[in-house]
Structure 1
Amino acid sequence: MENGRAQFPFPYQPYNIQQDFMQALYSALNQGKVGIFESPTGTGKSLSLICGALSWLTDYEEKKRKETAALLQEGEAALSTSAAQSSTSSSSAEPDWITDFVQKKAERDLVSKLKEEELKRKKREERLEMIRNNVQLKYAIKRKSCEEDEAFKLLQLSKDEQVEAAGEQEDEELIIAEYESDDESKSKSRLYGADDDEDEELVEEHVTKIYYCSRTHSQLAQFVHEVQKSPFSKDISLVTLGSRQNLCINEEVRRLGSIQRINDRCMEMQKNKHEKQHLEEGVKRKRGPAKGVCPYNKASALQQMRDDVLGAVHDIEQLLKLGREKHSCPYYASRLAVPPAQLVVLPYQMVLHEATRRAAGIQLKGQVVIIDEAHNLSDTLSCIHSAELTGAQLCRAQSQLSQYADRYKSRLKAKNLMYIKQILFVIEGLVRVLGGKVGQNPQSQTTQAGTQMLTINDFLFKARIDNINLFKLQRYFEKSMISRKLGGFVEKYAGSGVTLHTQSSSNKENRRTEGLNRYLQSLQSNQSAASVLQADQQGSVEADKILSASPMMQVESFFMALTNSNTDGRVVVHRQGTLSESSVKFLLLNPAVHFAQVLKECRAVIIAGGTMQPVSDFKQELLFSAGVGKERIVEFSCGHVIPPENILPLVLCSGPSGQELDFTFQNRDSPRMMDETGRILSNICNVVPGGVVCFFPSYEYSRQIVSHWEASGALSRLANKKKIFQEPKKASQVEQVLNEFSRCIQKCGQDGGGLTGALLFCVVGGKMSEGINFSDDLGRCVVMVGMPYPNIKSPELQEKMSYLDKHLSHSQGRSPGQALIENLCMKAVNQSIGRAIRHRGDYSSIVLCDRRYSRPATLSKLPTWIRDRTSSHATFGPAFAALRKFFLEKKQKQV
């Protein structure tokens, strides 16, 4: 197979840039490279990825088939020759029988192995062909699921009886099993919910495949729809992976709402299923009521649904529909389909996090990974592997675990009690670092405000937990599933306000337990009130989400984070006046340490996005630091499909009155600078039809400048030309604002009414700077006010800069820390200005208001297709003339 390909299957005649993209991608996959691919939105990036990658996969499989057939033929020929030589030489001198025996055995083993591989491949292809073409199979599955309806209804009818009979037996599910820390040879938890024999039948070896990852489920769904439209839709076996929350069809479980509760209930039902299987096999168990088993998790139905999943291309919604039709679980069926699938579509957190990869049955060895929408890959890796704990969460976790150990101390084995005591000891140390004590209300405990940045080792010494083996604790968390057990315990006894008690306990013990329970509930109610206040102030409900999760899960994540290398992370100790609001946060400084395994195991890794500039931080932070050599890295950046005359990027160095535009932190608050910005927008709104989207560097500056314009009358003058909209505080309101913005522009285009469109104020890095399309009239001009540099005074950012300066080499006279600041700024700019120009026929202008954009080093970090057409203007007049001419020409063409 050569490194290139002349033609690629495509649903239409590809653009030249699409052909170039596919050629470069094919070559990168063939040579096992790490590729950074940039293709602007609107250039058919997804389709190019699909057709380029699947063309390579098809050719690679064909090449393997030919090589195997050739080797098999050679092996059989060698055996025949060897046999002939042996018979002719038997009458002559005595042969070297040992050499002859070894040679023949090696040849026979090779042929046998090749035949076995060929047989497996043929069986796999025959089965997939049968799935695709055998319509009768589908009818058989339908009949089978109809026959199972009665059993399903009987299970539904028996639920009330199961709930009533629950009683004391339920506690068995909350008790941690005997822990054997040294028994590493035991098999891991079953993934599929089937017994050993069924596992052998269902689990297959992994074929060569492509893992396609993106950020959100909606982006993954769009990609799957592109696959369905591609020439490969009939021949490719594809599976889409998602969480239980996305794929569960058991309404009883779905109603639980939170991811954690859904996961816990599903795992519990699987455990009950195994117990039921053992009971049916004649294994005795303790007396008690029948436990709930999921009616959708049956091995035979899962196997049939897996075949259906592989037989056609489905997105998540179609998987759910299929699961309901078949009465079979889409979550487990999709995981069963991973080994034989050629294309696996999944959120990139599932690939980037090792524990999640293991749980999902993802094997990367020798496979291809494509990470799309990867402009924030470094930040994503850091977030996935960072962890934060508040004082309130620590106190809740300590309280819950103490109550758990107290209640079941007579039923827990000594080793379990030992590890629980260690966990409580570590939690106590963390609370001590925050200046508090366990056993008291964290709301009433005051701490001295301040922030400390510590290495992992220094933090462990400060907390006085350096003598605890965190690696053993981590293994205990994983094997004992104590976080899940504790979550079930709290849900049963405290979630609904039920007093913790046992029938056999004394009154004194009852009173003590009630006190602990009241304290637990007071923590929850106090924190809930604080969360509501925070939600009102910040327009988010993140704190409520944290409350609904088990605090022990957060503790477990933090413990795991502390097992990182001392040089790769820092711990931020943040005291906020009260213990409840104070926090400890693990900050990952070296995301490459967790990306290195992906890069090492995979045959090839493709990092793709609409805007990948500046790429220097990708190479330095994620690739070179992970041990990838320069020779393995390839870069590809293509232009846009739009004609050059459809985009007008301008850099403004001064405004209409001659005021120099320098939005540095020292200058941007001056009334003169804010007035000049108002005049620039006013002039732009005079000549730009439809929608103008204006980005400010921060929420604070957006509020400040809009308030200034209100007082000066500039805002009302702008409102006379275009209706003004502002980015909402709450994410739930974004859709509504966008709809109103769109309706206003359409209405103005139809009847005028004195207005020429709408003006939308947004914030860089906010809710509208990524993932929102301002195509056509919605975004005829994007204005960037100033440069959105991050807060350099942030302790986390300062530590990151210091780490990079220490571990990475300097380039172009700038330290890696300084480069990080500039790259973060320009990445945010590129994402924001990329909201316009979404297809071939679109056109738009981009106005960058700050003289600093005219610096060659800054211009070089714009996307190539924008940079090559950008002109800088020292004075406002020529820039405004170019803007007016641009839209006048577009208007004349439309007429």
Structure 2
Amino acid sequence: MTTPNLFKQWQKRKRKSSLISGSPRPEHSANNGIERRGFTKPESMIYSELLVGGLVVKLPSGLTPYTTQRTMMAKILTSLKNKLNALIESPTGSGKTLGLLSATCAWLVRYKEERKLSKGECRACNKHTVLPVNSMLPGQESNLESWPTSLTDSPEPSNGNSLYSPSVKPILTIEDEFDSDFAASPSSTSVKRSSLFLTELKRSRLEEADGEEKQSHEGHTCLPRVTIYYGTRTHKQISQVVGESARLPYGHDGTIRHTILASREHSCINLAARNSGDVNGKCKELISAAGVGCLYKNSMRGKYEKSGPVRKLVSENLERSSDIWDIEDLVSALKTSSPTLCPYFSSTRVLTQDADIVFCPFSYMLDPMIRDNSDVTLKNAVVILDEAHNVEDVCREAVSFSFTEREIVGARADLCKKAAEVEGALAKVERKQIAQQGLENLDGGRNDRIHDALANLSTNFGTVNKFLDDVLNWFVELASEVAKRRPSRDDRYTETLSWERLYTSLEGAKLTVFAERCKASPYAALLTALGVVAGQSGDEDDRNIDLHNYRPLSMSVVCVEKFLYFFKTYFKEDHRTAYKLFVCIDKPFVPFGSRSRNGDTTEFPADVLDMSTMDEQRRDWLDSRSVLNGYREIKRGYRVTFNFWCMRPALAYMDAFKECRSVILASGTLCPMDTFRSELGTEFHQMMEGSQVIPNDHIFAAVIPSGPTGYPLCGTYRNINSDDRFVREISLLLKSVCEIVPKGVLCFLASYRLLDQIYEFMETAGILRQIQTIKRVLCEPRRSSQMNEIMAQYEEAICNSARYGPQCTGALMFAVFRGKVSEGIDFADDRARCVVSVGIPFPNAMDEQVSEKKKFNDDNCKKMRILTGDEWYTMQAYRALNQALGRCLRHRSDWGAILMVDERLLQRRSNPNAKKVSKWIREQLRPLSVK
């Protein structure tokens, strides 16, 4: 077999002109990390200025933006000025993140100036008087250093144009007030944020107060406050974005303040919580009314409930001089500060007060349960979702819910036992009351208060347990019918209920009563009862009486919360038509009362599931055939799961962003863009497909339609599995590529099954041994925990190839589309001198969720004006293809080859999918024969 001269000549030229002949450069490391010292504050605030659309955009000194960056900034500024949404595709290496940050920060600086002027002209804002310092009471002057602390825009650093002089402190308007998590006032001390349902509970109880507050805003004519929410897919990527932000002057000169929303797992410093195995649960337990408290959170009371002092403390304790920090910096600074403060509550509750830009993972905005528990306020916000190519999937998952048999049974058992303990305690109190009748009241009525508290708790346990009884009965009845069916080949029992059947089923179980959400509705009653049972209601009875021993497990509360959130979404407007229920009974299964190896959080301890200590009246819903003393499993030895699948990502997207000023979706691979408007239910008036900034002679992109023997290469399921010819051709092709291309080679395949198939064939045919003389061969692991080790081996073979043999030139990595390698890992320079894609990665058509999504789109394409099932299916395939191909060519000086193996990818005029390949690849594509 010979390789075409075109590819050989290009490859030789690139090897000679390679800027990186040794190990990969540190700034493009495999984990895409940012050098920690890159956050250091510049010695002088020297920067470049660029005039875009009438606004001055500040950029790092000496930086000349690419044409793609200029276009991106113009699109973003147009969107922000006119309250529009935008889709921005900009290839990796084109400065996408820096462009997003610089343009939005420049716009926000101008907006904040305009807002200050509007507040000066607003009659409602100017009703209040301003007290000069000399009229303040003694001691008030010392509080000036803590300003600004409110939710309103803070005064800018003194530049001669400030609306407030240093000696004047403005009186707060109602707009400036905020709901502090630490406030010691009687109206808020009883309200704890340790449970997800609490936000809605507070809203329902404060509905009248909210109405009064809205009336007080009616007279305002000033511009509303705008916060930028910058979302990334993972916590890890936030550090990279903050690193880019540190290159700009806005954060260093105090013009723009930021914070980061991170989970307790990333920010808790309490050793008792960290060593508990459940950081969230332990933290909530410690800070609850009956808990022992947390020293670090308690240290924040008073002075450090305000953002100004916290920011000052962080700045003083950072290892370097800078006001730009990521979550690791914040944790380190507050861990060594005096006093030591809680990084979690500092970043998520205090620093949000004056933050202009909030960095957080997607889930903090899109998942309703997380959003409600994270103080995320998206009204009038500017939202940026970076790496948003999979935002449709994230949205569907955010409003899809799963429940297992053991989860519901465990919650029911836990709550049943706690209710029995409450009734036992109540009976003792009543006996004591009877014995003391006629006697002088010596306890000041405490016994009566305990009785009333226990009686109230017992009533609310009854409400929650009645709900779980109804749910469990419905669950068992429906699953039992599915279990009677004939199993599939893989020993699974499954059934999918359409939205009509699902609603009818819920109606038959009388669960549709939770559709109403007014104050007197069953939904509100259950919400209130759960708050009382979990100790989060704030009732007066709970304040002086310790009911801690009667609280259910957090996983029991979460189970009921999930149902409340499901009902809230499902019964809203016409949302029920977007849901389907997939019932699955399968193996492997961990027996009731035992702990699964993956640490499933829905596992209940065996003592909770043991109902043998219950009296007969409390065990009437159980029998005696399983480890859960008495509960009859639906199908012994099997796992039973109910999956409520949402088919419309627009439900989550619009629920989160309907009141935003602008939403910007950005990625290196948004193409094809057709699905975003229809699937997300919103218009994107600004769209951009950026060009690659890497010179054309650094890119070799080709489609290989046939193999070395001339056999047509079409990676359909039938062709791959009909015989070994397709696998043989791919094996020979990879051998040829590895002989020519130095350093790292990536090969993306449609599935792990095909990966195993090719690897086994190569091993049997002796081709693997031949490749291993010139490349170390590695495979993407199925488990995420093994990925770091595999990447270390891959990089070692590239940087020190001589250790693996005299002829070794690097490494070959087999990977799968939509896998760990294709998402988020930077294969710059020598890490990927060639990317080979085999086939077109259509989603698994046999997957029930995929098939149901296709059916949903087919049934609703005309009514909802969405893509047909096949169109959606094709878009998913090409987006995954583009994402994988973007792993190489990561910066302007990089170079590499892209080989797309499948005849369906030829750029013929008759090919309806030709333009679904990213523009920067499409412009370079050519056919390549390898015969």
Calculate the TM-score normalised by the size of structure 1.
Answer: 0.70
For the residues of structure 1 that align with 2:774 and 2:239, how far apart are their CA atoms?
A: 39
Identify if the C-alpha distance between structure 1 residues 392 and 356 changes in structure 2 by more than 3 Å, giving closer, same or farther. closer
Indicate yes or no: 2:382 matched with 1:368.
Answer: yes
Identify if the C-alpha distance between structure 1 residues 635 and 307 changes in structure 2 by more than 3 Å, giving closer, same or farther. farther
In the alignment, which residue of structure 1 is the partner of 2:327?
316
Q: State the 1:45 CA deviation.
A: 1.2
Q: Read off the aligned partner of 1:770 and give its amino acid letter.
A: E
Indicate yes or no: 2:493 matched with 1:450.
Answer: yes
Q: What is the count of residue pairs matched by the alignment?
A: 686
Q: Read off the aligned partner of 1:229 and give its amino acid letter.
A: R
Indicate yes or no: 2:420 matched with 1:406.
Answer: yes
In the alignment, which residue of structure 2 is the partner of 1:510?
none
Indicate yes or no: 2:25 matched with 1:25.
Answer: no
For the residues of structure 1 that align with 2:392 and 2:153, how far apart are their CA atoms?
A: 39
In the alignment, which residue of structure 2 is the partner of 1:576?
586
In the alignment, which residue of structure 2 is the partner of 1:186?
205
Contact 1:5 1:26 in 2 (8 A): no
Structure 1 unaligned blocks of 5 or more: 73-108, 132-136, 138-172, 191-204, 274-290, 439-446, 488-500, 503-519, 521-547, 878-895
Identify if the C-alpha distance between structure 1 residues 307 and 859 changes in structure 2 by more than 3 Å, giving closer, same or farther. farther
In the alignment, which residue of structure 2 is the partner of 1:557?
562
In the alignment, which residue of structure 1 is the partner of 2:510?
466
Which one of the candidate residues 859, 881, 904 is aligned to 1:829?
881
In the alignment, which residue of structure 2 is the partner of 1:608?
666
Greater CA drift, 831-840 or 386-395: 386-395
Which one of the candidate residues 378, 381, 386 is aligned to 2:392?
378
1:340-739, aligned counterparts within 5 Å?
A: 340-409=354-423, 410=426, 411=454, 412-435=457-480, 449-456=492-499, 458-459=501-502, 461-462=504-505, 464-467=508-511, 469-471=513-515, 475=524, 478-481=527-530, 485=534, 550=555, 553-563=558-568, 564=570, 565-576=575-586, 578=635, 580-622=638-680, 625=681, 628-629=682-683, 633-669=685-721, 670-739=723-792
In the alignment, which residue of structure 2 is the partner of 1:264?
284
For the residues of structure 1 that align with 2:289 and 2:582, how far apart are their CA atoms?
A: 39
Contact 2:224 2:380 in 1 (8 A): no
Which consecutive aligned stretches of 4+ in structure 1 deviate over 6 angstroms post-superposition? 114-117, 119-128, 181-184, 749-752
- 1:662 is paired with a residue whose SS is coil
Q: State the 1:586 CA deviation.
A: 0.6
- 2:912 is paired with a residue whose SS is helix
In the alignment, which residue of structure 2 is the partner of 1:296?
297
Identify if the C-alpha distance between structure 1 residues 63 and 872 changes in structure 2 by more than 3 Å, giving closer, same or farther. same
The percentage of counterpart residues that share the same residue type is 26
For the residues of structure 2 that align with 1:365 and 1:376, how far apart are their CA atoms?
A: 24
1:117-132, aligned counterparts within 5 Å?
A: 129=157
Which one of the candidate residues 844, 864, 867 is aligned to 2:919?
864
Contact 2:702 2:900 in 1 (8 A): yes
Indicate yes or no: 2:816 matched with 1:763.
Answer: yes
Q: Read off the aligned partner of 1:584 and give its amino acid letter.
A: F
Indicate yes or no: 2:343 matched with 1:330.
Answer: yes
Q: Read off the aligned partner of 2:842 and give its amino acid letter.
A: Y
Identify if the C-alpha distance between structure 1 residues 479 and 369 changes in structure 2 by more than 3 Å, giving closer, same or farther. farther
1:792-807, aligned counterparts within 5 Å?
A: 792-807=845-860
Contact 1:29 1:56 in 2 (8 A): yes
Q: State the 1:486 CA deviation.
A: 10
Indicate yes or no: 2:229 matched with 1:207.
Answer: no
Identify if the C-alpha distance between structure 1 residues 263 and 821 changes in structure 2 by more than 3 Å, giving closer, same or farther. farther
Which one of the candidate residues 812, 830, 843 is aligned to 1:777?
830
- 1:842 is paired with a residue whose SS is coil
In the alignment, which residue of structure 1 is the partner of 2:234?
216
For the residues of structure 1 that align with 2:697 and 2:226, how far apart are their CA atoms?
A: 44
For the residues of structure 1 that align with 2:270 and 2:535, how far apart are their CA atoms?
A: 24
Q: Read off the aligned partner of 1:609 and give its amino acid letter.
A: S
In the alignment, which residue of structure 1 is the partner of 2:609?
none
Q: CA RMSD in A?
A: 3.8
Indicate yes or no: 2:903 matched with 1:817.
Answer: no
Q: Read off the aligned partner of 2:74 and give its amino acid letter.
A: Q
Q: Read off the aligned partner of 2:858 and give its amino acid letter.
A: D
Contact 1:642 1:839 in 2 (8 A): yes
Q: Read off the aligned partner of 1:329 and give its amino acid letter.
A: C
Q: State the 1:3 CA deviation.
A: 8.5
Indicate yes or no: 2:53 matched with 1:4.
Answer: yes
Structure (1 or 2) with the greater helix fraction: 1
Q: Read off the aligned partner of 1:720 and give its amino acid letter.
A: T
Per-residue CA deviation, residues 625-646 of structure 1 (Å, 9 max, x unaligned), is: 3xx35xx521022112210111
For the residues of structure 2 that align with 1:355 and 1:729, how far apart are their CA atoms?
A: 29
- 1:767 is paired with a residue whose SS is coil
Q: State the 1:603 CA deviation.
A: 0.9
For the residues of structure 1 that align with 2:769 and 2:556, how far apart are their CA atoms?
A: 50
For the residues of structure 2 that align with 1:760 and 1:483, how far apart are their CA atoms?
A: 55
Indicate yes or no: 2:930 matched with 1:876.
Answer: yes
In the alignment, which residue of structure 1 is the partner of 2:43?
none
Identify if the C-alpha distance between structure 1 residues 555 and 696 changes in structure 2 by more than 3 Å, giving closer, same or farther. farther
- 1:841 is paired with a residue whose SS is coil
For the residues of structure 2 that align with 1:639 and 1:749, how far apart are their CA atoms?
A: 38
For the residues of structure 2 that align with 1:834 and 1:45, how far apart are their CA atoms?
A: 14
Q: Read off the aligned partner of 1:451 and give its amino acid letter.
A: T
Q: State the 1:361 CA deviation.
A: 2.1
Contact 2:585 2:639 in 1 (8 A): yes
Per-residue CA deviation, residues 304-344 of structure 1 (Å, 9 max, x unaligned), is: 56533377332111211232213122222222222321111
- 1:808 is paired with a residue whose SS is helix
Greater CA drift, 655-664 or 576-585: 576-585
Identify if the C-alpha distance between structure 1 residues 552 and 432 changes in structure 2 by more than 3 Å, giving closer, same or farther. farther
Q: Read off the aligned partner of 1:653 and give its amino acid letter.
A: P
Q: State the 1:427 CA deviation.
A: 1.8
For the residues of structure 2 that align with 1:479 and 1:590, how far apart are their CA atoms?
A: 30
Per-residue CA deviation, residues 141-162 of structure 1 (Å, 9 max, x unaligned), is: xxxxxxxxxxxxxxxxxxxxxx
Q: Read off the aligned partner of 2:498 and give its amino acid letter.
A: T
Q: Read off the aligned partner of 1:568 and give its amino acid letter.
A: A
For the residues of structure 2 that align with 1:584 and 1:462, how far apart are their CA atoms?
A: 13
Identify if the C-alpha distance between structure 1 residues 872 and 456 changes in structure 2 by more than 3 Å, giving closer, same or farther. same
Q: State the 1:703 CA deviation.
A: 0.8
In the alignment, which residue of structure 2 is the partner of 1:168?
none
For the residues of structure 2 that align with 1:327 and 1:3, how far apart are their CA atoms?
A: 44
In the alignment, which residue of structure 1 is the partner of 2:15?
none
For the residues of structure 1 that align with 2:128 and 2:75, how far apart are their CA atoms?
A: 33
Contact 2:79 2:85 in 1 (8 A): yes
Q: State the 1:233 CA deviation.
A: 2.1
Q: State the 1:830 CA deviation.
A: 1.2
For the residues of structure 1 that align with 2:529 and 2:333, how far apart are their CA atoms?
A: 35
Contact 1:477 1:556 in 2 (8 A): no
